[in-house]
Amino acid sequence: MRIDPDSWEVLETYDSRKNTVQKVKYGDELFIVKRFNPDLVSGLAVEREILRNCEEMGIAVPELIDSTDDLLILEYIPGDDCKTLFERGDVDVLRSIAGWLADFHGAFDDSRRRGDCILANFIMHDSRIYGIDLEESSQGNYLRDVGDMCTSILRMKPAFTDQRFSQMRSFVAWYFDFASKEPVDIADSVVEAMDHYSRYGGQREELKRWSEKIKEVGLEDISPR
């Protein structure tokens, strides 16, 4: 399906630190348009390939409708992102994300990360989880995705509480259960994720402090107290 960019109506522009992401109306249909900044356009080819691969393998992602040299046109998935749902108290989204992530890693034989694996990059629609924003996907240690999500959970306000650590541990247990793998120590992956996200946005000092604490004592016995 070819879509003329001059003929769509922009309905909403989403917050994004990397690219311009908009909901548009074209005829009677809604789409997501993702325009890549010039210095990040290499991510377009990555996301386009991953979207096609996921669709072939039955991993829930938005359908790729069309693309140009600097933008992707995607199926609009109505629903709330999982960060919003989690903030409302829906902890069950963690189980759903764990299942999606295990399926993704299994589909790529544990050789690929989805990248930027945070609560805001999953959408719930009709009781199904969809992964979005896949331009940071790369070959590499799949456990880094688990570390990303653990960090995303711990950062949710009130951050780094007993409750957040408990929720993090539940997510990890669900992930290994869905993946049919023996649980392994993911402390290094969480530290790597915390060090990465401490370079962006808020909670920098907290992330650095918790990263150092996890390096010292690991994840099993760590406590906010």
Annotated domain spans of the chain: 5-75, 80-217
The domain made up of 80-217 has a fold known as Transferase(Phosphotransferase); domain 1 (1.10.510)
Handedness of CA 49, 7, 21, 71 (dihedral sign): positive
Report, as ranges of residue numbers, the positions in the chain whose pLDDT lies below 50. Answer: none
Amino acid identity for residue 100 in this structure: W
104 in Cβ contact with 178 (< 8 Å)? no
Residue 15, pLDDT score: 81
Residue 43, pLDDT score: 92
Residue 225, pLDDT score: 59
Q: What is the pLDDT of residues 93-150, one digit of tens each?
A: 999 999 999 999 999 999 999 999 999 999 999 999 999 999 999 999 999 999 999 9
Q: Yes or no: is domain 5-75 CATH 3.40.50.1970?
A: no
Which are the contacts of 80, defined by CB distance < 8 A and separation ≥ 6? 123, 124
5-75 and 80-217 agree in CATH topology: no
Which residue, among 30, 32, 26, has the nearest Cα to 51 in the 3D structure? 32
- The 3-state DSSP class for residue 11 equals strand
Residue 37, pLDDT score: 87
Residue 1, pLDDT score: 64
Q: How far apart are CA 10 and CA 148, in angstroms?
A: 32
Q: Which two tokens stand for residue 11?
A: 């309905």
Neighbours of 184 (CB within 10 A): 11
Residues paired with 139 in a beta bridge: 112
Which are the contacts of 182, defined by CB distance < 8 A and separation ≥ 6? 176
What's the pTM? 0.94
Half-sphere exposure of 11 (CA within 13 A, CB side): 13
Amino acid identity for residue 47 in this structure: E
